[in-house]
Structure formats: structure tokens, C-alpha cells
Amino acid sequence: MDAAQAAGFASFLAHTDAVGKSILLVLLLMSLASWTLIATKSLAALLERRRSEKFLDVFWNAPSLAAVRTRLEHRHPDEPFSRLAWHAIVASRHHQRHGASRLNEAGSAAEFLTRAMRRAIDEDTARLESGLTVLASVGSTAPFVGLFGTVWAVYHALVNIGLSGQGTLDRVAGPVGEALIMTALGLAVAIPAVLAYNGFVRSNRLVLARLDGFAHDLFAVLTTGSHVGDADTVVPLKPAAAKA
């Protein structure tokens, strides 16, 4: 920022009223919220991606579903694929042991398993989409907040110029130019939020597509006569199914 820009921004802060300062505070809070979400969700997505790749490699190379269940019992699921596998294995084991003894267990084992897996996917979908509403709101409203600040500042600048009786170009251009700072700040807050929102939506869509494919493979494994309640039962898992 050069001397002219610094002087312009400092002059704007010095002459703006409480409404203008409130708008600046709102834009600052919007920016902090969006960048906090961008940083935390980006880090969480990176860590989850690594854990998912590791779990899928372990899952498809496991000797049996019993071995997968044992591993998940000792290490709590911490990413979407392991959570889906855990819920599916628990649901399949529960229905094998207790059958349809309650209303929420009605239907065949395949139907009960489908409902359990769908609930697990829905929970992860909601978790992946958390915070996106804030980014979308910041991206859509920040330009208008900045524009409102510009209009407010221009109005007061023109009123002060009118009261002074000096309407020369040098007296008009300075205050009006300073007022445009609000619009620039609004855009500076909105653009990263919009780009991050689009990036997260695409990333979530890819994760859910892979999760859906894994759910089909897992359903096929669990409904082909496998029993996860007996640790001695060996049901081989084919790594080739991971490519489906």
C-alpha cells in the first residue's frame, strides 16, 4: 500500500461515522469467519482423505470381515468410510442375532442393512456440509454490505460538500474515492468465500460419490452369506471390488 492509499484509507477511517465503522466491523467479522472455516475444513479434509485411503487399503486387504470388525473395535472410526463399514457390520450382526424384534428392525436383513448404511451416509453428508452455509452467506452478502457502506459514505460526503459550498472536482473526488473503499473491501471478503465454497462443494461431491460406490461394494460383501458375529468365520474380501 503506497502513501496515497494509506492516506486515503486513514482519512476514510478518520471521517467515517459510527455506521461506517459498524459496516467495517461486520466485514471484518465475515472475513474472519470465512477464513477460519476455510482453514479448518481444508485441514480436516486433507487429514480425512489420508485416513480414508489408509482404511480402504486395510479393508480390501483384510482376510475377513471379522478382522475388519476387530480392527474397528480397537480403533474407533474417524473418517466416512470406516464409519460406514462399522455401522454396516454392526447392523448386519445385530439383525443376524436378534432378527426383526422391533418396528425399526422390520423387513429383511438386506432392507435393515440398507437403512443403516443410508443413515450413516446421511450423517456424513450433513457433517461434510457443515459450515458451507456460512461461506455461501458471506459470499453472497459481503458485496452488498460493502456497497451499502459506499452509498452511506458517498451520501455523507456529498452532504458535507454541499454544506461547505465548494463543489470543485478536488473537493468531490477525494471523499467519493475514499467511499469506494467499502465496495473493494466487500469484494475482498466475498471472493475467497465464493471460491472456497465451490471448492468444498466439489470435494464433498467426489467424497460422497466414492462413499456411495463403497457402500454398494460393502452391501454386496455383507449380503453374500457373510457372518460377522463369529471371529473364526473367514469371508475373504477381494481387493478388486475397491475399483468398482
Q: What are 61-76's pLDDT values in tens digits?
A: 888 888 888 888 888 8
Backbone torsions φ then ψ of 224, nearest 5 degrees: -110, 35
Residue 178 has pLDDT above 80, yes or no: no
Q: Where are the alpha helices (DSSP H) in the chain?
A: 3-15, 18-60, 65-74, 80-98, 109-128, 132-164, 169-222
**Residue 175, all three cell numbers:** 471523499
Q: Is the pTM of this model over 0.85?
A: no
Please report, to the nearest 10 degrees, the dihedral formed by the alpha carbons of residues 188, 191, 193, 195 taken in order: -150
Handedness of CA 92, 240, 61, 80 (dihedral sign): negative
CA-based R_g, the chain, Å: 28
SS3 content of the chain, % helix, strand, coil (to 5): 80, 0, 20
Which of the pair, 218 or 12, is modelled with greater confidence? 218
222 exposed, middle or buried (CB, 10 Å; 0-12, 13-18, 19+)?
Answer: buried
Helices 80-98 and 18-60 cross at an angle (nearest 10°) of 60
Half-sphere exposure of 52 (CA within 13 A, CB side): 17
- Average pLDDT in the chain: 79
Half-sphere exposure of 225 (CA within 13 A, CB side): 3
Residue 80 has pLDDT above 80, yes or no: yes
Percent of the chain scored above 90 by pLDDT?
38
Which of the pair, 98 or 13, is modelled with greater confidence? 13
Residue 55 has pLDDT above 70, yes or no: yes
Residue 83 has pLDDT above 70, yes or no: yes
Residue 103 has pLDDT above 50, yes or no: no
165 exposed, middle or buried (CB, 10 Å; 0-12, 13-18, 19+)?
Answer: exposed
- Residue 168 — pLDDT band, cuts 50, 70, 90? low
Q: Buried b / exposed e across 128-137, counting CB within 10 Å, b at 16+?
A: beebbebbee
Q: How far is it, in rounded angstroms, from Cα 150 to Cα 224?
A: 66
